[in-house]
């Protein structure tokens, strides 16, 4: 019988990496005669989780030909050797014999879209007969169980991860950046997030002292192997693993009305711009979005860079679809924008005083509906003489997104377009 093993929360905020722990564990199990079935999974959970470590990722894989007790020994051995238990990591391992059923699938969907209390994790494990081993508080059981239950039927992508030899951890990664740009040009959009076009930075290599040398994301395993071969690397590699993943699939979003929004969910909200966007002292841009049920603040924060310029072009009346994470802020519930679809742009009509027929100077309004007066020659004109100007809109309807550095792992980049449907 197949055995599913899920792992989560091996890393404190400082170092360590769940993918590395999984990769080591899989190889040790294989050395004992176990066979890996399919690709291991790298599963991202609700990105709004307040207690998440980096990226809120969990891993699960399926093996055959190994006894549960033997697998437990291997897993606890690897965790105790590599996990950041002294740093407070609430590392957890879940074991499930056979295939996950609807209860664990449902648990996965909640873990992606909600904040799940720890008790619910223990309860579902008991219901489905999953065995748990956990350290410290055991918060990782949520991710370990959700990774086993992961439902990738609505779309998946793949990530190739190359791990570093231990003696290189914490040192500068020796990757030729030029080869990354070449790889990006040759394989895009079948690979994505290789570079940040706005900053020109390479995005496949992290900057943390963790065991990951690089990770390449793509729509199928074949393109990842091809892309990896194109990168010039000047350090030995420990091993390379391809994961299937829910990254870049938009599965965290729910279509919600403004009245149904709550702290911690990721939402798609359709509405009309109710108040003109304005920029505040920190460089953050805010505006109000209204639907038939109420209003919500939308925010494009400073790290969203040039996306803010787009948002500042919106005017009241524009119809948009906003994608983002809902957070409780002092001004009220706020949708932290990740992308928007502009459906309809209204005409930007400005009314202003006419020019004086005698001296050609712009006249002055004498108050609302009180007509106009020329400051120079005293000529008066009635209100009906006001000038109506149609200001051309500087933007077009369509999809717009934040730069990759401000996008969350689960959010689908626009460059993927319809590609995922074919995979
Ligand atoms: Zn005049």
Considering its fold, how many domains does the chain have in total?
4
Tokens of 116: 């799940």
* Ligand 1 centroid, distance to 348 Cα (angstroms): 28
Under the banding of pLDDT at 50, 70 and 90, the label for residue 208 is confident
- Residues 351-399: tens digit of each pLDDT: 999 999 999 999 999 998 899 999 999 999 999 999 999 999 999 999 9
- Which pLDDT does position 421 carry in this prediction? 45
Under the banding of pLDDT at 50, 70 and 90, the label for residue 55 is low
Closest C-alpha among 287, 354, 356 to residue 324: 287
* Ligand 1 centroid, distance to 392 Cα (angstroms): 29
First vs last C-alpha separation in the chain: 29
* Ligand 1 centroid, distance to 112 Cα (angstroms): 66
Q: Are 259 and 401 members of one domain? A: yes
pLDDT, mean of residues 72-91: 86
Q: Collapse the DSSP code of 404 into the 3-class scheme (helix H, G, I; strand E, B; otherwise coil) and give the result.
A: helix
Contacting residues for 115 by C-beta, under 8 A, at least 6 apart: 46, 48, 49, 50, 264
Let me know if residue 420 belongs to a domain.
no
* Ligand 1 centroid, distance to 360 Cα (angstroms): 6
Under the banding of pLDDT at 50, 70 and 90, the label for residue 179 is very high
Closest C-alpha among 133, 135, 153, 134 to residue 41: 153
* Ligand 1 centroid, distance to 367 Cα (angstroms): 18
What gap in Å lies between CA 7 and CA 133, rounded to an integer? 10
* Ligand 1 centroid, distance to 278 Cα (angstroms): 35
Q: Are 110 and 13 members of one domain? A: yes
* Ligand 1 centroid, distance to 378 Cα (angstroms): 6
* Ligand 1 centroid, distance to 356 Cα (angstroms): 5
Across the chain, mean pLDDT equals: 92
- Which pLDDT does position 327 carry in this prediction? 93
Let me know if residue 299 belongs to a domain.
yes
- Residues 303-347: tens digit of each pLDDT: 999 999 999 999 999 999 999 999 999 999 999 999 999 999 999
- The CATH code of the domain that includes 71 is 3.30.70.2200
Q: Collapse the DSSP code of 390 into the 3-class scheme (helix H, G, I; strand E, B; otherwise coil) and give the result.
A: strand
- Which pLDDT does position 52 carry in this prediction? 52
pLDDT, mean of residues 38-47: 93
Residue 205: give the domain boundaries.
Answer: 157-245
Let me know if residue 8 belongs to a domain.
yes
What gap in Å lies between CA 184 and CA 227, rounded to an integer? 8
What gap in Å lies between CA 283 and CA 277, rounded to an integer? 12
Q: Are 207 and 161 members of one domain? A: yes
- Residues 250-308: tens digit of each pLDDT: 999 999 999 999 999 999 999 999 999 999 989 999 999 999 999 999 999 999 999 99
Let me know if residue 418 belongs to a domain.
no
């Amino acid at each position: 019988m197949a055995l599913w093993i899920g792992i989560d929360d091996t890393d404190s905020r400082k170092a360590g990496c769940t993918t590395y722990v999984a990769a080591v564990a899989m190889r040790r199990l294989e050395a004992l005669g176990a066979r890996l079935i399919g690709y291991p999974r790298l599963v991202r959970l609700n990105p709004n989780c307040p207690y998440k470590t980096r990226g809120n990722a969990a891993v699960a894989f399926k093996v055959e030909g190994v006894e549960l007790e033997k697998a437990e020994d291997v897993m606890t051995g690897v965790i105790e050797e590599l996990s950041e238990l002294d740093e407070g990591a609430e590392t957890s391992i879940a074991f499930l014999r056979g295939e996950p059923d609807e209860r664990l699938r449902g648990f996965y969907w909640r873990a992606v879209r909600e904040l799940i209390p720890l008790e619910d994790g223990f309860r579902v494990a008991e219901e489905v007969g999953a065995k748990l081993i956990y350290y410290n508080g055991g918060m990782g059981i949520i991710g370990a169980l959700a990774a086993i239950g992961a439902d990738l039927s609505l779309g998946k992508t793949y990530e190739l991860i190359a791990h570093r030899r231990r003696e290189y951890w914490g040192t500068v990664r020796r990757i030729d950046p030029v080869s990354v740009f070449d790889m990006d040009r040759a394989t895009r959009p079948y690979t994505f997030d290789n570079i940040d076009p706005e900053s020109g930075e390479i995005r496949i290599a992290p900057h943390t002292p963790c065991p990951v040398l690089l990770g390449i994301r793509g729509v199928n395993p074949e393109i990842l192997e091809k892309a990896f071969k194109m990168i010039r690397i000047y350090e030995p590699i420990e091993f390379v693993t391809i994961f299937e993943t829910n990254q870049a699939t938009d599965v965290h979003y729910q279509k919600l009305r403004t009245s149904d929004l709550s702290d911690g969910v990721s939402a798609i909200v359709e509405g009309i711009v109710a108040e003109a966007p304005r920029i505040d002292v920190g460089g953050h841009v805010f505006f109000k979005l209204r639907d038939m049920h109420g209003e919500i603040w939308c925010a494009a924060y400073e790290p969203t860079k040039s996306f803010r310029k787009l948002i500042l072009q919106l005017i009241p009346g524009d119809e948009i679809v906003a994608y983002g994470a809902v957070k409780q802020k002092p001004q009220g519930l706020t949708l932290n924008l990740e992308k928007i679809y502009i459906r309809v742009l209204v005409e930007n009509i400005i009314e202003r005083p006419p020019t004086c027929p005698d001296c050609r100077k712009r006249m002055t309004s004498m108050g609302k509906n009180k007509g106009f007066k020329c400051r120079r020659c005293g000529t008066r004109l009635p209100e009906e003489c006001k000038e109506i100007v149609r200001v051309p809109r500087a933007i077009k309807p369509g999809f717009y997104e934040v730069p990759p550095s401000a996008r969350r792992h689960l959010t689908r980049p626009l460059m993927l377009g319809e590609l995922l449907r074919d995979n």
